[in-house]
Amino acid sequence: MSHTHPARVRVRTPATSANLGPGFDSLGLALALHDEVDVEVDPGGGLGVEVEGEGAGEVPLDGTHLVVRAMRAAFEAAGRPLPGLRLRCRNAIPHGRGLGSSASAIVAGVGAAAALLGWTDAAGGLDRDRVFELAADLEGHPDNVAPCVYGGCTVAWRGEDRWRAVGVPVSPRVAPVACVPAERLSTERARGLLPAAVPHADAAFSAGRAALLVAAVSGHPELLLEATEDRLHERYREPAMPESLRIARELRKVHGLAAVVSGAGPTVLVLADTGAAAPAPAGAPETGAALQIHEDLVDSIRERTGKHWHIRPLAIDPSGARIET
């Protein structure tokens, strides 16, 4: 390996929530809950994988680990063999809950490989676009991968010959709260419940709401409740997560909260409007009315969900994957 390329890299990737209601397979939001992976090249050619936190004792510790598979795909794309590696993964993103754990692992692997291979953009920084495109290829859809790579809120789609994504500004009044149940649900099972076709009226309804959602997130959070109405996927998935849909509907009807199924579920994501007039300084805690609204909101949600749900207010991660060498 060239001496100009690092032999060690650390990647920090955020959790993500995809769809956000009507934005099926296109809209996504990065959340301030992170997995971290330390990768070191092993000159001896071996492979070692350690996992702490979420997935410890469950995920494979060999070449089939998702981070390793993603790294191998990146090296193959560059026409290079995968070197020996030592990986240490510290996971905070719950697995099988609709918070983008697989996208996080894939982006971590591709991002680490990109740093080791020296993939840079025109400005000399990491080529995030290349990381995004390969990660989306591996994931099969871009809605989680885009916010994981770029941060914030994103709209992602498949162009004529490649994946593409664009960022959406997020109003400082938007406050995400993740309602995470104890049980898991595989993306494959959730997708398997979707019909091959939907009524034209439902498709038109959801298209309109997805367009409205972009406006609501970026500058009109008072419209979030209407903007997050969905007719494309949530109700079809109800047999796999009836409790999630029950809670989301109650939060919407009783409390007027924009509650949606996060990704393929079963986590429920609330996009609350704190009504705050101005953003707090970067890194500063919420104060005054915004903080009180947030605390009252969490208490109200906790009453609806019960003890088997973990109610977790989360900030929006504005920067996406962070890679240090």
Q: Across residues 94-116, what is the average pLDDT?
A: 97
3/257: higher pLDDT = 257
108-122 per-position pLDDT tens digit = 999 999 999 999 888
158-208 per-position pLDDT tens digit = 999 999 999 999 999 999 999 999 989 888 888 889 999 999 999 999 999
Which pLDDT score is estimated for 298? 81
- Helix extents (H) in the chain: 66-77, 101-117, 128-139, 145-150, 187-192, 200-218, 224-227, 242-253, 288-305
* Contact (Cβ atoms closer than 8 angstroms) between residue 137 and residue 34: no
* Contact (Cβ atoms closer than 8 angstroms) between residue 10 and residue 81: no
121-148 per-position pLDDT tens digit = 888 788 999 999 999 999 999 999 999 9
Q: What is the pTM (predicted TM-score) of this model?
A: 0.91
Pairing assessment for the beta strands 47-53 and 84-91 based on DSSP bridges: parallel
Identify any residues that bridge with 39 across adjacent strands, giving them in sequence order. 9, 87
Q: Directed axis angle between helix 288-305 and helix 242-253, to 10°?
A: 140
Question: Residue 276: pLDDT band by 50, 70, 90 thresholds?
Answer: very low
* Contact (Cβ atoms closer than 8 angstroms) between residue 19 and residue 260: yes
Radius of gyration of the chain (CA): 20
Q: Binding site: which residues? A: 94-104
Which pLDDT score is estimated for 286? 47
Over 90: is that where the pLDDT of 2 sits? no
16-55 per-position pLDDT tens digit = 999 999 999 999 999 999 999 999 999 999 999 999 999 9
Q: Which domains does the chain have, with CATH numbers?
A: 8-169+318-324 (3.30.230.10), 174-313 (3.30.70.890)
Q: Binding site for ATP: which residues? A: 94-104
The token pair that represents 29 in the structure block: 């939001």
The label of the residue with tokens 């692997």 reads 109
Instruction: List the one residue out of 84, 90, 66, 76 whose CA is nearest residue 7.
Output: 84
Instruction: List the one residue out of 181, 175, 73, 165 whose CA is nearest residue 128.
Output: 165
Residues 245-264: b if buried by 16+ CB within 10 A, e if exposed: bebbeebbeebebbbbbbbb
Pairing assessment for the beta strands 153-158 and 47-53 based on DSSP bridges: unpaired
